[in-house]
Amino acid sequence: MISLITLDNFLTNAIYTLPHTPLIDTVFFFFSASGIFILFWIGIFSFLVIFEELRHHRFFLDFFLTVTLSSILTNLILKNIFTRLRPTPSPHPLLLSSTYPSDFSFPSGHATFAFAAVYILAHYDPKRAKLFYIIACLIAFSRVYLGFHYVGDVLTGGLIGIGTGIFVRKIVRELDSRPLKGTFGLRGNDN
């Protein structure tokens, strides 16, 4: 029977060896770039707050708790437990640049953050949910296509992001339904 590691290596190699052209590499590098990546999701969040007037306190709380908790879990805890090295890049100009990550590979922080953000954004803006999930999938795919991650890294990261979103929404709803007399309440009660 084929092992998960063998399957992961096979799928990763199949994606990484897809044709690379300057245009395709640039598009995927855009989705993969760390600085642009975080600004991108904050931009979508800001757009929804400003133009869609999505100013519900739960949206703010759900979004920031989900992306923060999932990022801490992935980048500070799990990567340091599993210590999986990144795929060895072949002589591809994009991969040999100074942008090649130096931390551990499993699970993917980009996929975790993307799917954590998307889960919350899709809940509060269902009319754009498909677009959000397509963007998250492109980010995850770009990480494998450019040789930064294995397929298992991004799949696990996506599951962690969504799982954290489900957990945070459940906890926030539970806390929001409880009367919090004499303390600050999530519902904004002044008592």
* Residue 8 belongs to some domain of the structure: no
Domains in the chain: how many in total?
1
Instruction: Say what the pTM is.
Output: 0.81
Give catalytic residue positions: 110, 149
Is residue 25 within 8 Å of residue 94, measured between CB atoms?
A: yes
**Domain residues for 122?**
22-87+101-177
Q: Give me the mean pLDDT over the 97-123 stretch.
A: 85
Q: Is the dihedral of CA 150, 152, 158, 164 positive or negative?
A: negative
* Residue 183 belongs to some domain of the structure: no
* Residue 1 belongs to some domain of the structure: no
pLDDT, tens only, 142-184: 889 888 899 999 999 999 999 999 999 999 888 777 665 554 4
